Amino acid sequence: MKLYGIPNCTTVKKARAWLADHALDVAFHDFKKQGVDAAWLRAVVAQTGWQALVNTRGTTWRKLTDAEKAAVADEASAIALMISQPSVIKRPLLERDGTYHLGFAEDQYQTLFGA
């Protein structure tokens, strides 16, 4: 398992705490320090869709110009934005057994892990 995100993100912190509280060992990938790979993003987008993966509620998105926002019109443009600004990727993103799970909610993780 691997959890992707940014360590100072509140939701990422909640997910990491929940996983630790349930003794689930998970590697952490820091988007800011380790970056993102185009091939990896394409694999995630294939499962989640690019619209779900772009966090349009976050600060990074809100700071984009209207032209930059409008330019995100398809998978290729969304991936280009996520590579250049990884903070725009919805987080946390949990990879478990080859499947990606977006966001964190306690009931979502309880169902996922049977906890």
Which positions are annotated as active-site residues?
A: 9
- Spatial distance between the Cα atoms of 87 and 6, rounded to a whole number of angstroms: 8
Cβ 112 vs Cβ 96: under 8 Å: yes
- The answer to whether the peptide bond before residue 86 is cis (omega within 30 degrees of 0) is no
